[in-house]
């Protein structure tokens, strides 16, 4: 084990370290990867990754409304106004039912900003600009985590599987976690590679379809594949005969 890993373990075992580990573990379980990891079937995993039926509706309905209304009316006020009202309705429903509304509020803010940009410019393509910046920011953040050798998928998976940060002492696990995080970088960059040419071509309808297809459904698929991959990596790492390395400390023994 490296000195860096020893220092990390020592910190975790110090005063307050156990409480911090528990909080980080809870955060990992509440993440999209954590929720999917607790499912029993592929169909349930995909649905969970999209936030359940309600999450799927909240993710897709505003985009579908914009696309359909824009194609039928070419009226930007109607096309951006209806999705904003739908987003507001999602927030109200969650508040009335006393359910977590952070994701719905975030979605509403995104719809409002997107609508403002489209109305200010008078161009439907501007409705999708916020998504470009969001995907670029996610890709940049993930690349940064890889460069500093704290790949985000590894951080979440470590606490999700009870390993904390011990995985960083294994070259094999570090490499696999870098790879898994790199897949997410490729996912966000793929969105930009497909959608930006449509944006510059002014193809609003095609851009809207691409945004829907590469949105929640593809996002859910990548999450499920990530969980399956990480689970297999940890199972292999815990078996010296398969990994070719001494058994990793994947949990308290």
**Is position 250 within any domain?**
no
**Is position 36 within any domain?**
yes
DSSP assignment of 175-244: HHHHHHHHHHHHHHHHHHHHHHHHHHTT-HHHHHHHHHHTTHHHHHHHHHHHHHHHHHHHHHHT-HHHHS
Domain count of the chain?
A: 1
Is-contact 131 63, C-beta < 8 A? Answer: no
Q: What is the pLDDT of residues 17-30, one digit of tens each?
A: 677 677 777 777 77
**Confidence (pLDDT) at 16:** 56
Whole-angstrom CA distances from 252 to 13, 91, 105, 235, 249 are 12, 41, 39, 15, 7
**Is position 83 within any domain?**
no
Give me the domain span that covers residue 37: 3-9+17-50+123-243
Q: Which of 16, 19, 51, 56 is nearest to 36 (CA)?
A: 51
Q: What is the pLDDT of residues 146-181, one digit of tens each?
A: 999 999 999 998 888 877 888 898 899 999 999 999
**Is position 24 within any domain?**
yes
Please give the DSSP secondary-structure letter assigned to residue 150. Answer: -
% of the chain residues with pLDDT over 90? 50
**Is position 22 within any domain?**
yes
**Is position 105 within any domain?**
no
Q: How far apart are the first and last CA of the chain?
A: 17
Going by pLDDT thresholds of 50, 70 and 90, the confidence category of residue 252 is very low
**Is position 188 within any domain?**
yes
pLDDT at 108 over 50: yes
**Is position 248 within any domain?**
no
Whole-angstrom distance, CA of residue 204 vs CA of residue 188: 20
* Mean pLDDT (the chain, rounded): 84
């Amino acid at each position: 084990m490296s000195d860096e890993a020893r220092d990390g373990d020592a910190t975790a075992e110090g005063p307050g370290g156990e409480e911090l580990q528990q909080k980080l573990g809870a955060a990992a379980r509440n993440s999209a990867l954590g929720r999917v990891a607790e499912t029993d079937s592929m169909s349930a995993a995909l649905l969970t990754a999209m936030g359940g039926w309600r999450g799927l509706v909240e993710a897709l309905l505003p985009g579908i409304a914009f696309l359909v209304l824009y194609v039928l009316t070419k009226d930007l006020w109607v096309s951006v106004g209806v999705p904003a009202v739908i987003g507001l309705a999602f927030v109200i429903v969650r508040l009335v039912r006393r359910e977590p509304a952070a994701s719905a509020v975030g979605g509403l803010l995104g719809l409002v900003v997107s609508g403002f940009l489209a109305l200010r410019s008078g161009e439907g393509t501007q409705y999708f600009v916020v998504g470009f910046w969001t995907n670029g920011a996610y890709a940049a953040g993930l690349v940064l985590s890889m460069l500093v050798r704290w790949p985000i998928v590894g951080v979440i998976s470590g606490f999700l599987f009870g390993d904390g940060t011990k995985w960083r002492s294994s070259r094999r696990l570090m490499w696999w976690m870098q790879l898994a995080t790199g897949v997410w970088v490729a996912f966000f960059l793929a969105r930009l590679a497909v959608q930006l040419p449509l944006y510059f071509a002014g193809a609003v309808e095609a851009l809207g379809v691409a945004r829907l297809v590469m949105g929640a459904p593809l996002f859910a698929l990548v999450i499920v594949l990530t969980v399956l991959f990480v689970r297999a990596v940890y199972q292999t790492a815990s078996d010296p005969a398969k990994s070719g390395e001494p058994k990793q400390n994947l949990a308290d023994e």
